[in-house]
């Protein structure tokens, strides 16, 4: 991405203001652009929050081609109240690496453009927990990370050996990750790390070396997730997908290191992803194992959360409350055995008919088994000839951040129209029960006696 340092920055385009805020009081309108605070150009919402913490400010606001400088005073707990179109005002920092297993490089053509952005932006790591590689940071970036204390960051390590990491990143210029982590330690910035494991490349001895090296970086490295590589049918055929045997070896390694980890951290620290347990058929650890929730969006602890949610829901569920109702649930093939067991228990308790349909991923390939990468096209194909009942429940993870579109750009309304039943996104069995409750209320006859 071209540098904007030393040039006028674009500022943040306003799409709304919070009611009762300073922005509303001074008449900020959608379409305005907040350029600066106290003459400091704004690169993103981090600058906005950092420089907007002062009590006295001069805001530089662009409207209709003219820059207006507005003096404001802010109480300690008062919000400026600007709502921006995007969190980054000067564009997303692109990835410089060429990982042979990069999922975006395996995407088929013809999908919406946002799915092909190879972001590697430390600001998105701080704001949203996106994983970065630290391979494109300038000295200005390092200074800013320290000055604004952008902690924690989420870092893809893959291997701590310089040569192995450069091969995995496809970047012969990648810096040694361990000195970079030590530099973050000096800045008092914490890290949540991940290793994406490619069988034959960074498992076995390479993986053990990496885990031990990162453990020595505690407490800067607060957690480490072990995540199996995701390979589509468009991947390099030389790459091996994760199978049960490889997953079992990784879990054995993690368990073997557990006493050493506990002695050093007094915590779990090392988190194999749920997929590794599901691939091997081993039970996921108990809730106490997941003593840090930072990696949950990385597929760590989601199955345990699903089980815990159902245990709580089942205790409150009235027997036979949903008799006569029928819901169909779709999911990826990996979670299907777990979901089928929970659905059977829920059906027995509630009286509802619950049908679980595992969906084979033909869009990306059958080696992609997670629910979050299902497309509407594959869901429709899997449901052909099925009696869907009163409602179809799809995984919420199938949808984009707005909750409106699938990966193949189909809306919930479009999918419902094609299938002929309401479509509801859910994440837990408790939410499935909420959907059934809504149907049961809707079906209740009017209890008011006729005049």
Going along 187-315, which residue ranges are E strands? Answer: 191-197, 221-228, 270-272
Mean pLDDT across the chain, nearest whole number?
92
Residue 52, pLDDT above cutoff 60: yes
Q: Mind listing the pLDDT tens digit for each residue in 351-381?
A: 999 999 999 999 999 999 999 999 999 999 9
DSSP calls for 377-406: HHHHHHTTT---TTEEEEEGGGB-TTSSBB
Q: In the chain, what are the domains?
A: 12-84 (2.30.42.10), 104-299 (3.80.30), 305-443 (no CATH)
Quick one: pLDDT at residue 340?
Answer: 97
Quick one: pLDDT at residue 6?
Answer: 37
Residue 268: count other Cβ atoms within 10 Å of its Cβ: 19
- Residue 56 parent element (H or E): strand 56-63
Residue 236, pLDDT above cutoff 90: no
Q: Mind listing the pLDDT tens digit for each residue in 138-152?
A: 999 999 999 999 999
Quick one: pLDDT at residue 111?
Answer: 63
For the chain, give the percent of residues with pLDDT over 70: 94
Tokens 């027995």 map to which residue? 348
DSSP calls for 341-359: HHHHHHHHHH--EEEEEEE
Least trusted range by pLDDT, from 102-106, 172-176, 204-208, 243-247: 102-106
Residue 383, pLDDT above cutoff 80: yes
Q: Mind listing the pLDDT tens digit for each residue in 314-344?
A: 999 999 999 999 999 999 999 999 999 999 9
Cα diameter, the chain: 84
- Cα 270 to Cα 223: distance, rounded to the nearest angstrom: 6
Query: Mean pLDDT throughout 207-227?
Result: 98
DSSP calls for 112-157: -GGGG--B--HHHHHHH--EE-S-S--HHHHHHHHHTT---EEEE-
Quick one: pLDDT at residue 144?
Answer: 97
DSSP calls for 157-201: -S-SSHHHHHHHHT-TTPPPHHHHHHHHHHTT--EEEEEEE-TTT
């Amino acid at each position: 991405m071209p540098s904007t340092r030393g040039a006028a920055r674009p500022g943040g385009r306003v799409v709304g203001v919070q009611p009762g805020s300073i922005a509303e009081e001074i008449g900020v309108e959608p379409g305005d652009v907040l350029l600066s605070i106290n003459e400091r150009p704004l690169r993103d919402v981090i600058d906005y929050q950092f420089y907007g913490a002062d009590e006295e400010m001069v805001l530089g606001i662009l409207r209709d081609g003219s820059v207006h400088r507005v003096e404001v005073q802010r109480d300690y707990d008062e919000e400026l109240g600007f709502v921006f179109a995007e969190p980054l005002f000067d564009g997303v920092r692109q990835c410089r690496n060429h990982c042979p297993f990069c999922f975006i490089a395996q995407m088929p053509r013809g999908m919406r453009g946002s799915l092909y952005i190879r972001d590697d932006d430390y600001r998105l790591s701080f704001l949203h927990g996106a994983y970065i590689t630290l391979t494109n940071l300038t000295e200005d970036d390092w200074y800013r990370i320290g000055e604004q204390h952008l902690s924690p960051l989420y870092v893809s390590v893959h291997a701590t050996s310089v040569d192995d990491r450069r091969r995995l990143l496809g970047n012969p210029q990648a810096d040694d990750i361990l000195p970079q982590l030590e530099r973050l330690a000096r800045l008092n910035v914490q890290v949540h790390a991940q290793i994406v494991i490619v069988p034959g490349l960074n498992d076995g001895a390479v993986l053990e070396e990496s885990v031990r090296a990162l453990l020595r970086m505690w407490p800067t490295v607060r957690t480490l997730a072990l995540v199996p590589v995701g390979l589509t049918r468009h991947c390099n055929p030389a790459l091996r997908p994760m199978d049960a045997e490889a997953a079992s070896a990784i879990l054995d390694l993690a368990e073997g290191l557990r006493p050493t980890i506990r002695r050093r951290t007094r915590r779990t620290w090392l988190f194999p992803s749920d997929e590794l347990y599901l691939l091997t058929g081993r039970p996921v650890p108990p809730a106490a194992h997941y003593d840090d929730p930072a990696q949950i969006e990385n597929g760590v602890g989601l199955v345990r959360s699903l089980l815990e949610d159902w245990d709580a829901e089942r205790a409150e569920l009235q027997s036979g409350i949903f008799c006569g109702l029928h819901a169909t649930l779709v999911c990826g093939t990996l979670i299907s055995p777990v979901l089928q067991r929970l659905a059977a228990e829920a059906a027995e308790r509630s009286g509802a008919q619950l049908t679980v349909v595992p969906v084979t991923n033909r869009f990306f390939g059958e080696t992609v088994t997670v629910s979050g990468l299902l497309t509407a096209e594959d869901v429709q194909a899997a449901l052909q000839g099925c009696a869907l009942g009163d409602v179809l429940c799809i995984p919420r993870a199938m949808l984009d951040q707005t909750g409106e579109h699938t990966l193949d750009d189909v809306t919930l309304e479009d999918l419902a129209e094609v299938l002929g039943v309401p479509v509801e996104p859910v994440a837990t069995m408790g939410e499935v029960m909420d959907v059934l409750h809504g149907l049961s209320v809707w079906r209740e006859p009017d209890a008011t006696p006729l005049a």
